[in-house]
Amino acid sequence: MLFDYRQKLLAKSTKNYNVLLDIGYAEKPNKYLGNKQIIGIDLHAVEKPSNYSKIVVGNANNLVNYFDESSIDAICCGELLEHLINPIDFLKNCNKVLKPNGLLALTTPNPHHLFEFLSTVFLSKKIFYSPEHVCIYPQRWLIRMFEIAGFADIKIMSGGLAIPIIGTIWFPRPIAEFTFVMGKAHK
pLDDT, one tens digit per residue, over 130-142 is 889 999 999 999 9
pLDDT, one tens digit per residue, over 82-132 is 999 999 999 999 999 999 999 999 999 999 998 888 888 999 888 778 889
Residue 63 has pLDDT above 80, yes or no: yes
pTM of the model: 0.95
Contacts of 56 (CB under 8 A, 6+ apart): 39, 40, 41, 42, 66
- Indicate the average pLDDT of the chain: 95
